[in-house]
Amino acid sequence: MTAAEPRVGQTVEPCGPASHASPAPPALTRRGIPLVLMYHAVADVDEDPNQLAVTPDRFEAQMRWLRRLGLRGVSVAELLDARRAGRHRGLVGITFDDGYTGVLQYALPVLRRYGFGATVFVVSDRLGGTNEWDAGPVWPLLDGAGVRELAAAGVEVGSHSANHVRLAGLPPDRLGEEVRASRDRLRALLGTAPRGFAYPYGSMDVAARSAVADAGYGYACAVDASRSSLGLMALPRMYIGQHDNALRLFAKRLLYRGHVTRRGNVS
Ligand SMILES: [Zn+2]
């Protein structure tokens, strides 16, 4: 990549205040939760029993669809900052779990074209390996250089634990290793500590949420979050797959909730 290329998410955001005065975000309510999409792999794959992959063409179509609706994809960090400043209207968080190579190879060029941002949650001790934790097809994960390349392009890099294990019920020492050590390793890799965390399998409990907060993360993404757990340490996300029905529903929900201005063709 050359210096002339825009960073992901850089091209669309209009000029605005570089900082804002609000010291803390307003409390999360179910209605006020940030809206975040959850992807895994972006790749053409032969088999996908767990429905974790979206083809590059479909991913681009989904991004195009968001833009037609007047929505802009951003990293979770940008979404939370915008929310704090009261300018999150029309923004959607885009996340990729696990850190597959296709995020760099296929998704990044699309994000650049659309001026979108995103967050990728990587498994710190499996960089350059595979998703061997899944019972299913094995796909390559980004190595350290690939993760650095994403970060240099403006993609937010967060932690998806050290070894991709379920955190709920984990003994305290293992919990600390997965959460804190993962953060330390990503700090060593990138020069800055990751702000975000995503629970592997969405598995979390009170101890896990506390461990993530205590380790210094600013937010954590779950999959589903109960009313009692909902908050910055348990942000719910919407699964998006190869079949775009979920995205259709999501878009309708967004429109229903009045999060976007009415423009573009919804049908
Ligand atoms: Zn995962």
Predicted local distance difference test score (pLDDT) of residue 26: 47
Predicted local distance difference test score (pLDDT) of residue 204: 95
Residue 33 alpha carbon to ligand 1 centre in Å: 22
Question: Does the pLDDT at position 145 exceed 90?
Answer: yes
SS3 at position 198: strand
Residue 50 alpha carbon to ligand 1 centre in Å: 12
Residue 201 alpha carbon to ligand 1 centre in Å: 6
Cβ atoms of residues 92 and 129 within 8 Å? no
Residue 160 alpha carbon to ligand 1 centre in Å: 7
Predicted local distance difference test score (pLDDT) of residue 254: 62
Q: If you average pLDDT over residues 127-153, what whole number do you get?
A: 96
Summarize pLDDT for 229-253 with one digit per residue, the tens: 888 999 999 888 887 665 665 665 6
Cβ atoms of residues 61 and 2 within 8 Å? no
The set of residues, in sequence order, having a beta carbon less than 8 Å from that of 21 and lying 6+ positions away, is none
Ligand 1 ion: Cβ-proximal residues, 5 Å cutoff: 97-98, 200
Strands (E), the chain: 36-39, 41-42, 53-54, 72-74, 91-98, 119-122, 156-159, 196-198, 219-221, 238-239
Q: HSE-up of 259 (CA within 13 Å, CB side)?
A: 25
Predicted local distance difference test score (pLDDT) of residue 242: 85
Q: If you average pLDDT over residues 8-30, what whole number do you get?
A: 42
Residue type at position 234? A
Residue 178 alpha carbon to ligand 1 centre in Å: 13
Predicted local distance difference test score (pLDDT) of residue 13: 30
Residue 265 alpha carbon to ligand 1 centre in Å: 33
SS3 at position 100: strand
Residue 256 alpha carbon to ligand 1 centre in Å: 30
Helix count (H) and strand count (E) of the chain? 9, 10
Residue 207 alpha carbon to ligand 1 centre in Å: 19
Confidence of residue 228 (pLDDT cuts 50, 70, 90): confident
Residue 154 alpha carbon to ligand 1 centre in Å: 21
Residue 185 alpha carbon to ligand 1 centre in Å: 18
Q: If you average pLDDT over residues 40-65, what whole number do you get?
A: 92
Summarize pLDDT for 67-126 with one digit per residue, the tens: 888 889 999 999 999 999 999 989 999 999 999 999 999 999 999 999 999 999 999 999
Residue 47 alpha carbon to ligand 1 centre in Å: 18
Give the pTM. Answer: 0.84
Residue 182 alpha carbon to ligand 1 centre in Å: 14
Confidence of residue 34 (pLDDT cuts 50, 70, 90): confident
Question: What is the DSSP code (8-state) at residue 134?
Answer: S
Q: If you average pLDDT over residues 40-44, what whole number do you get?
A: 95
Residue 63 sits at the vertex; the CA angle it makes with 60 and 68, to the nearest 5 degrees, is 125
Summarize pLDDT for 175-214 with one digit per residue, the tens: 999 999 999 999 999 999 999 999 999 999 999 999 999 9
CA 111 to chain centre: 13
**Comparing 50 with 233, which gets the higher pLDDT?**
233
SS3 at position 256: helix
Residue 133 Ramachandran class (φ > 0 left, ψ -120 to 50 alpha, else beta): alpha
Can you list the domains of the chain with their CATH numbers? 36-256 (3.20.20.370)
Residue 97 alpha carbon to ligand 1 centre in Å: 5
Summarize pLDDT for 248-267 with one digit per residue, the tens: 656 656 654 543 333 332 22
Predicted local distance difference test score (pLDDT) of residue 98: 98
Predicted local distance difference test score (pLDDT) of residue 245: 61
Confidence of residue 21 (pLDDT cuts 50, 70, 90): very low
Q: Please give the Cα distance from 27 to 51 (Å, whole number).
A: 34
Q: Tokens for 163?
A: 């070894």
Predicted local distance difference test score (pLDDT) of residue 240: 87
SS3 at position 58: helix
Residue 159 alpha carbon to ligand 1 centre in Å: 10
Predicted local distance difference test score (pLDDT) of residue 175: 97
